[in-house]
Amino acid sequence: MNKVVSNADAALEGLRDGMTLMVGGFGLCGIPENLIAALVRSGVKGLTCISNNAGVDDFGLGLLLKQRQIKKMIASYVGENAEFERQLLSGELEVDLTPQGTLAERCRAGGAGIPAFFTPTGYGTEVAEGKETREFDGKMYVMEHWLRADFSLVKAWKGDTNGNLVYRHTARNFNPMMAMAGNITIAEVEHLVQPGELDPDQIHTPGIFVHRIFQGEKYEKRIEQRTVRQRS
């Protein structure tokens, strides 16, 4: 099966209005920049996006928010995006804020075929409202449901034509979990190599989870919050 496609636009074939997307990354680290740009060009609307955050105003998923292409965000952190805040407070955007570890586990559960699980995180807070709670060994837990998506969009450092992926350092973040939980998983990579060129012991996402792969280009790799020390 040939999984290689020519570019990000070709990779998004079949994407339609109203679909649910998982988008890898943490802040601006490890985000699928080429695929996000292709989403903007496609003009697709009414999306539900599952991602740790929504980028910043002029980069990452913030570009989709600016074009009003996202209907609902399921996210953990949204503090760096003023447009996100404006749309949330005005009622233009539906938001499901989820504790970060819970979000990661909901994605992992979706890929592992586990429809629900119990976690102590959020018990006694607004996070638990309307959800089943249960006591285990004297401690209260909240039931959370898995997350799955029509498309999962992930970014890797290296990948081979069979779809095996290697992430680099902290750019791994949410990408492996989301790669497992999409009906169609698309991987953009910085380096596309032939089968056998990747060390099997270094593969983070096996190719069985990846349906389409392409080599990206022109990565900006912007830093979300630049922190420097004063010269002594």
In a domain, 127, yes or no: no
pLDDT tens by residue, 189-215: 999 999 999 999 999 999 999 999 999
In whole angstroms, what is the distance from residue 124 CA to residue 140 CA? 9
The predicted pLDDT at position 103 comes to 98
Q: Are 41 and 67 in contact (CB under 8 A)?
A: no
Task: Please list the pLDDT of the chain residue by residue as tens digits (232 residues).
Answer: 789 999 999 999 999 999 999 999 999 999 999 999 999 999 999 999 999 999 999 999 999 999 999 999 999 988 788 999 899 999 999 999 999 999 999 999 999 999 999 999 999 999 999 999 999 999 999 999 999 999 999 999 999 999 999 999 999 999 999 999 999 999 999 999 999 999 999 999 999 999 999 999 988 888 887 888 888 7
Domain count, the chain: 1
User: Which CATH number is 187's domain given?
Assistant: 3.40.1080.10
The predicted pLDDT at position 221 comes to 82
pTM, whole model, 2 decimals?
Answer: 0.94
In a domain, 106, yes or no: yes
Domain range enclosing 55 = 8-114+147-215
The predicted pLDDT at position 172 comes to 97
In whole angstroms, what is the distance from residue 119 CA to residue 96 CA? 17
Residue labelled with tokens 């990452």: 60
In a domain, 232, yes or no: no
In a domain, 102, yes or no: yes
The predicted pLDDT at position 218 comes to 85
Burial code (b: 16+ CB inside 10 Å, e: under 16) for 119-139 equals bebbbeeebbeeeeeeeeeee
The predicted pLDDT at position 223 comes to 80
In a domain, 210, yes or no: yes
In a domain, 50, yes or no: yes
